[in-house]
Amino acid sequence: MNPDKERTLVIVKPDGVQRGLIGEVVSRLERRGLKIVGVKMLKMDDGLAAKHYEAHVGKPFYEPLAKFMTSSPVVAVAAQGRGAVRLVRNMMGALSPEESAAGTIRGDFAVSKRYNVVHGSDSPESGEREVSLFFSPDEIFDYDRDIDNWLRQE
C-alpha cells in the first residue's frame, strides 16, 4: 500500500457531537495535513457497535460503552495520509483526560475515559477494517490536492 494513502477512522463520539466539537476535531485533522476522504453523521445501532467493538464484546465495560455510542449521533471521518493512524493517535492523546497532554483533543476536551470526544483506529489494519465498516467504497473520495506535493517532501 502507498504510505501516503494510509487511512484511519476517527469518530466524533456522542459527547463530542453534543458539545459542538465536530468542526474542532475535523479542523485539527486538516490542519495537520490529513486529507478527509469520507465524512458522515449517523446513529450507530447495536449491530454496528458490536462489529466496531468486536474485540470488547463480553467484557465488563462493553455494555455501557455500546449504550453510550448508540445514544446519540456520531460523526465518522475517514482521514488519509502518511502515517495517518499514528498521527491521529498522537493528536487524540491518552484515553484518560488526566494523562492526556494539553493540546491533544482529549487533553483539551475530554472529561472522563468514556466521555473523551473521539475514537481513532489503533493500527493501519484496524483503520482499513473500521473505515470499511462505516463507509461503502462509493462514499470514499480519493482526490488530489495541490498541497499534497508539499506535504510529501521530507
Which positions are catalytic? Answer: 119
Exposed / middle / buried, residue 16 (Cβ in 10 Å: 0-12, 13-18, 19+): buried
149 within some domain:
no
Cell of 139: 462514499
pLDDT at site 129: 97
CATH number of the CATH domain containing 97: 3.30.70.141
Q: What is the pLDDT along the chain (154 residues), one digit of tens a residue?
A: 687 899 999 999 999 999 999 999 999 999 999 999 999 999 999 999 999 999 999 999 999 999 999 999 999 999 999 999 999 999 999 999 999 999 999 999 999 999 999 999 999 999 999 999 999 999 999 899 888 877 765 5
Residue 79: strand pairing partners: 8, 36
pLDDT at site 152: 65
pLDDT at site 91: 98
17 within some domain:
yes
Say how far residue 126 (Cα) sits from the centre of its chain.
11
Cell of 117: 470526544
Residue 94 structural domain: 3-142
pLDDT at site 153: 59
pLDDT at site 85: 97
41 within some domain:
yes
Tally the domains of the chain.
1
153 within some domain:
no
35 within some domain:
yes
pLDDT at site 2: 80
Secondary structure class of 54 (helix, strand, coil): helix
How far apart CA 46 and CA 152 sit, in angstroms, is 40
Place of cell 466524533: 12
154 within some domain:
no
How far apart CA 81 and CA 2 sit, in angstroms, is 10
151 within some domain:
no
147 within some domain:
no
